Amino acid sequence: MEKLKYALFTGCTAKQSTPEQMMSTMAVAEKLNIELVELTEASCCGASHLQDYDDFLSLVLNARNIAYAEKHGLTMVTICNTCQLNTAMTKHRLDKDAELKAKVNEKLAEVGLEYKGTSDITHFLYAIIDDIGLDKIKEMVVTPLSQFNIAPFYGCHNIRPSELQNETHKTPESAYRPTSLDDLIIACGGQNVDYEEKNKCCGFHVELQAPKTAAILTGNAIAGAMDGNADWMVTPCPLCHLKLDTQTHHASKAIGREVELPVLHMQQMVGLALGCSPEELGLQHHLAEVDFV
């Protein structure tokens, strides 16, 4: 298989609160013969919050990040749904508005950079589905996850707004009946759990200002997966992961029911199926104990 090469935008959590996500991304990339060039110059994407304060500044900063991927002549790969949304949204807006693009480039020129619009931006989930393919991944599986019922949790910012999201990857995804993560579970040999909350919100973005709302949404998501007889959950988004893995105490209290399940990052699930060790994948970093490996 020809070596695939992408520019990796790690986002901020991969280097702080979800170190296991960084570890598993690198481990899986190696197994899949993918070369990831880390964009060490990249700044935070603003996480949809800087956007509430200063839209233009967020556009400039995200355009700068993309400009570095363009310098490498590579597709930018994200490993966080919210990074994906904010970066892809920036690209979408600049590519269709020449005036706005010129204004942003005027600023970038001050630091010797230019946003051209030449790099695609895609989440790692879709990169491996689009460019490697589920059949190939299935062939490469050495430890099928056949004894597990796995509940996919998609995360809003990979599936909505669907018009934007479907610009960024080849495999079409429905916001109402998403299939990518289900298909990936099946390719890894697991049984996918269908449940109502799989395409719903985890509440991450209001954790500070509306903690009760956030906790109820997290609780509902885990409860839905538990009621679907899931052994564990899997998500492509580190922010969803933080909610589902570290906030179970508040979530249980908010919905009046003890909820907890092991929650894996999408990369950890693929890594397990491809024969990576639990340590390589950082499973020891989880709060909800991963006791099945």
Partner 1 sequence: MSTEHKITTQKVNFKVFRFNADEDYLPYYENYEMEVTSEEVVLDILNRIKWDHDGSFSYRRSCRHGICGACAIKVNGRSTLACKESMNDMIDLFGEELTLEPLSIKRAVKDMIIDKGDFWEKHDSIHPYLISDVEEHPEHEHLVTPEEADTLNDADLCIQCGACHYACPVVEINEDFFGPAAFAKAYRFESDVRDDAHTSRLEELHEEKQGLWDCVKCYECAEVCPKDVNPIDKITKLHQMLFKEGVAKSNVATRHAVGFKHSIAKRGVLDEGGLVLYSEGPSIVKHIPVAIKMFKKGKIVMPWDIPTSDNLDEIKKLVESSSTAKF
How far apart are CB 30 and partner 1 at their closest, in Å? 21
The widest CA-to-CA distance across the chain, in whole angstroms, is: 56
Kindly state whether residue 287 participates in binding partner 1, applying the rule CB under 8 A.
yes
How far apart are CB 112 and partner 1 at their closest, in Å? 8
- Structure tokens, 86: 């904010």
Spatial neighbors of 62 by CB under 8 A, at least 6 apart, are 45, 46, 86, 87, 90
Q: Which of 2, 209, 256, 291 binds partner 1 (CB under 8 A)?
A: 209
Please tell me whether residue 71 adopts helix, strand or coil conformation: helix
For 138-191, the DSSP string reads HHH-SS--TT-EEEE---HHHHSSHHHHHHH-SS---SSS--HHHHHHHHTTPE
What is the x/- site pattern for partner 1, positions 154-173, by CB under 8 A?
--xx--xxx-----------
Size of the site for partner 1 (CB under 8 A): 64
Kindly state whether residue 279 participates in binding partner 1, applying the rule CB under 8 A.
no
Q: Residue 99's CB: how many other CB atoms inside 10 A? A: 7
Kindly state whether residue 98 participates in binding partner 1, applying the rule CB under 8 A.
no
Kindly state whether residue 100 participates in binding partner 1, applying the rule CB under 8 A.
no
Kindly state whether residue 91 participates in binding partner 1, applying the rule CB under 8 A.
no
Kindly state whether residue 213 participates in binding partner 1, applying the rule CB under 8 A.
yes
Which residue stretch of 24-32, 129-137, 210-218, 223-231 sits at the interface with partner 1 (rule: CB under 8 A)? Answer: 210-218
Burial class of residue 106 in the structure, from the number of CB atoms within 10 Å of its CB (0-12 exposed, 13-18 middle, 19+ buried): exposed
Which residue stretch of 110-118, 130-138, 184-192, 271-279 sits at the interface with partner 1 (rule: CB under 8 A)? Answer: 110-118
Task: Calculate the CA 88 to chain-centre distance.
Answer: 13
User: CA-to-CA distance for 43 and 9, rounded, in angstroms?
Assistant: 9
| Nearer Cβ to partner 1 (22/140) | 22
Peptide bond into 161 cis (omega under 30): yes
**Site of interaction with partner 1 (CB under 8 A):** 12-13, 15-19, 40-44, 46-57, 60-61, 64, 107-108, 110-111, 113, 156-157, 160-162, 174-177, 196, 200-201, 203-206, 208-210, 212-214, 216-217, 246-247, 249-250, 284-287
